[in-house]
Structure 1
Amino acid sequence: MTIEAELRDEFDRWENAGNTILKVLPYPLLAVGVVITLLQPLGDEPVRLITVLGLSVTAGLWLLWFHTLHPEWHGHRPLMGFYYTGLAVQTASLVAIAPWYGFFAFAGYPQAFQYLHGRWRYAGAAATAMISAAAFLGGVPGISAENLWGAWLAVGAISVVLAGAVFYFTEMAGHRHDMQRQALVALHEANRKLETALAENAGLHAQLMVQAREAGVLDERQRMARELHDTLAQSLAGILTQLQAAEQTIDEPAKLRRHMTNAMNLTRESLAEARQTVHAVQPTVLAEARLPDAITDIAQRWSEVNGIAATLTTTGDARPMHPDVEVTLLRTAQEALANVAKHSRAQRVSLTLSYMADLVTLDVLDDGVGFDPDARRARGSRNGGFGLAGMRQRVQRLAGRLEIESEPGGGAVISATVPAIPAGGAD
């Protein structure tokens, strides 16, 4: 259960408990007044039993009808104002006869707060305070006997001030409670919308990955078709030509030997090209090592061949990624190093592989002569090979981005960023 749900449940428990107390409180207070009054010894002015019981029954029925049996009336302000006025009159009558009904008078405070609004709420509290003050001084007989009307007004005034202060702070607490509930409702709605958005984003991301993979498969097929046409098909055609020529020169050993040698050389070249093509489809280096180790191995062999220092730094939590992610970053590293060897005349190359929560980034920095990225992009693929355009296409197939920063004489930085799709994800 979330903290939000726990707070909401806590608010609901307190509110339900408070409503239950307010619903049943007047009845035990009325019963206490009746019992204590009837247990009092009769004095010079005995309690009028029939009047007390009649008023008590009337007050109880009044409460039962308006307060308990018809909760749908509680929102009707004029009707509940009439109800509270009748309750206050009956309570005042009971207190006037028997001051022990001051216990029952106390119920007027929560009743006023529940059913009255605005200034009428404070008027109800003032009326209840004056009735309670009369009960405190012994009711009307006690006040009249000792002429305590001034004291009654003083005690009543103090009670009115205290009741008004309590009502004010209770209203402020109620406002804060309402604001907290509204904030919880708004938070719940925001969380619901966020969960919906996250679910939609997850679905869109999965759909995007499927589309990206389908597009990548199509692009790879087209690339393979071009490579087969430009390499293996042409080599096989050359081999066939040499064999046909050899067939026509069987009687001429020197020419036959030359055509057969050419055919064997073309066969060797075709075999090497076929192996390179297979290697391009599924790099064996990734099958034998993790991506950081594979890039390190490529960088070391490249450095030995080209005489340029190349080092790899890995940051973050290096973990297995989806094969498409690892192949893309590996090919980007290979092509970036190939470009450095062909064009940059660099002395040092730094590669940084960064694993983040949602992204994986490969940065390739060299201290070479640099170039104008806009001019290189305008030339497109005329330089041959995979090239920068090819790197960008690979990265974009995975909904990633390729950024190039360079200027003539200032070296170059190539940064490839792709989603950190874990191994086994987006399949």
Structure 2
Amino acid sequence: MGVVPGALDARGERLAGPIFTGVGLAGLAACAFWGSGLRGVTLVVAVAAAVWVPLLIPLFPHRRTHPWLAAGYYAGVLAAATVLVANDDSFMGFASFGYPLAFVLFPARWGFFAVAATATLPLLAANSDSRSPTWVLVLSMAGPLLYAAWFVGAESEQRRKANVRLEAALEENANLHAQLLTQAREAGVLDERQRMAREIHDTIAQGLTGIVTQLQAADGPDRDRRLAQVRVLARESLGEARRAVQALRPEPLAEAQLPEALSRLAARVAGTSGADVRAETTGDARPLLPDLEETLYRVAQEALANAEKHAKASRIALTLSYSDDLVLLDVVDDGVGFRDGDRGEGTGFGLEAMRQRVRRVAGTLAIESAPGGGTAVSAQVPAIPA
């Protein structure tokens, strides 16, 4: 049971009513025993007080929700004590029962008013001609002072402990905040590294690969066309490098809508690879959030590059499908494919980069392939409008 009124734990709430009732009845009985005798009005009021005091047991759990009942109960105790002291000042000890009772029934500020009333009314009603035992005078004078000192000291100690806990919590929060800042900084650095790695792989690396491929084939009869393709790829790679550093949108998306950009990408791959590359758009095409369009473009770019470089496909179909809630991109080729054991696991950085991009925009990516059966890449993202 907590020492500071109002701070009782669950066990204290159960025991406080019976304990204080026992203290009150014990004080009443002791005063009746040491007094000049119970008769007349004193007897009637003492019996009434003995009946009234136990009402604290059912009242105590509801003292906060029904403060007027608590005030009425305390007024009854104070009235009985005043009448008893007026007839026999030996009952000053029973009046002292009001001091601790005041602080358990009322909040602290109202408890002091109740204590003041308890200290004043019985003393004013006391019979000045009667001679009281010394212990009664000591109890009536020193009791309130001792209890007030105990209360203030206990409350001060509890506040000191609360301040210590608060300081410890603030220090712990500061440490956690520093850790979160460090983790956020590290996550930001890692995210930027991954972004740069994806951009370099999807732009500069693919462009350089295309340039090498075209230069290797430039000794044939279509030398001029191959060199023209080299110039185009070099310019595009340079532009993409600048945009990767500045975190801008891919150049094709900066100049055209996603369906048109994919058609141009398919035409360029068809020109460099010699494969039959067809691009088709179904549904109600509409602008999407830039991150979504960039993700779909990069997935198509990587899937077409894989079909050109690794799958050695002769036919590639690219389909962009718009629905109410989703946008789907399918890239299907008739290339050499790869083993079932590798399906969905990725054969290099390109496939993992695709997965990271799609996950970052809350989408899904599926890759299906079989040796000799070609490869199908399917990306699905939410259709969030720009």
Q: Per the shorter chain, which TM-score range?
A: 0.3 to 0.5
TM-score of the superposition, structure 1-length normalised? 0.36
TM-score of the superposition, structure 2-length normalised? 0.39
